[in-house]
């Protein structure tokens, strides 16, 4: 794999643009400013710089947002691969919990070598998902297809398996852990309230009522 020469700041921008545009939309300056905790003017300056690289890393039009080019997507997927492999390594080899790994991986993702990346991958048995169930980009920087759907889309009578959890809020991760709502958990939807979109689910023999703030962050596949 060719190692990117992008700086840490550039890698951070590309990673966040990727995450904000996974659904096919463009990333706005405001959304990036909030994610990166910088002023919108700084975001605009960086986006112009990224658009001016050879090859360009983004396509940027003022007031229309930004998307990654093919080169920008590869650079983003490289740092995302580092991050998710590191999270898996920290949990499986060093005993970190899933709510402790994000910040550690954020610091390490920019500095590990490609050889270190390969050795982690091999030592872990070539994992396809990180501790939160997020897909890990392949060594060729392709992203496996994600066939999961949000828990909020399920209705009574359906059973499912948790595939991934989209949550960076440490308190939320700890709460989900206490409910048993972690990747691999088998759940059954037993009731749905159309007035507030709450789902009543059963997991590990226990019943829980969940609102959209949780059900939109848990992604599942149908079980049977």
Average pLDDT over residues 88-102: 95
Same domain for 166 and 128, yes or no, is no
Same domain for 95 and 127, yes or no, is yes
- What is the extent of the structural domain holding 99? 1-145
CATH number at residue 218: 2.30.30.90
Same domain for 131 and 160, yes or no, is no
Same domain for 117 and 24, yes or no, is yes
- Residues 7-38 pLDDT 10s: 899 999 999 999 999 988 999 999 999 999 99
Same domain for 114 and 12, yes or no, is yes
Stated pTM of the model? 0.89
* Better-predicted residue by pLDDT, 167 or 10: 10
For residue 4, pLDDT beyond 60: no
Same domain for 167 and 180, yes or no, is yes
- Which residue reads 């949780």 in tokens? 214
Give the separation between CA 84 and CA 100, rounded to whole angstroms: 13
Both tokens of 51, joined, read 């658009």
Residue percentage of the chain with pLDDT more than 90? 88
Give the separation between CA 126 and CA 20, rounded to whole angstroms: 26
Same domain for 21 and 75, yes or no, is yes
CA contacts within 13 A on the Cβ side of 90:
23
**CA 23 to mean position of chain CA atoms:** 12
Both tokens of 127, joined, read 């994992």
Give the separation between CA 124 and CA 163, rounded to whole angstroms: 19
**Maximum distance among all alpha carbons in the chain?**
56
- Residues 100-139 pLDDT 10s: 999 999 999 999 999 999 999 999 999 999 999 999 999 9
């Amino acid at each position: 794999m060719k190692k990117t020469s992008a700086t840490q700041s550039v890698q951070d921008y590309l990673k966040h643009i990727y995450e904000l545009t996974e659904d096919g939309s463009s990333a706005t300056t405001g959304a990036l400013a909030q994610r990166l905790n910088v002023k919108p003017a700084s975001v605009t300056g960086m986006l112009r710089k990224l658009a001016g690289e050879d090859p360009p890393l983004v396509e940027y039009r003022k007031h229309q947002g930004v998307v990654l080019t093919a080169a920008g997507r590869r650079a983003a997927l490289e740092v995302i691969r580092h991050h998710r492999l590191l999270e898996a390594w920290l949990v499986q080899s060093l005993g970190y919990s899933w709510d402790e790994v994000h910040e550690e991986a954020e610091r390490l993702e920019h500095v590990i070598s490609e050889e270190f990346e390969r050795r982690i991958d091999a030592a872990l048995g070539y994992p396809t998902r990180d501790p939160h169930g997020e897909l890990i980009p392949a060594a060729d920087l392709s992203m496996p297809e994600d066939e999961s759907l949000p828990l909020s889309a399920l209705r009574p009578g359906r059973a499912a398996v948790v595939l991934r959890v989209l949550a960076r809020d440490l308190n939320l991760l700890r709460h989900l852990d206490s409910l048993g709502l972690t990747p691999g958990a088998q759940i059954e939807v037993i009731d749905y309230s159309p007035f507030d979109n709450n789902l009543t689910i059963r997991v590990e023999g226990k019943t829980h009522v969940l609102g959209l703030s949780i059900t939109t962050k848990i992604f599942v596949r149908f079980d049977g």
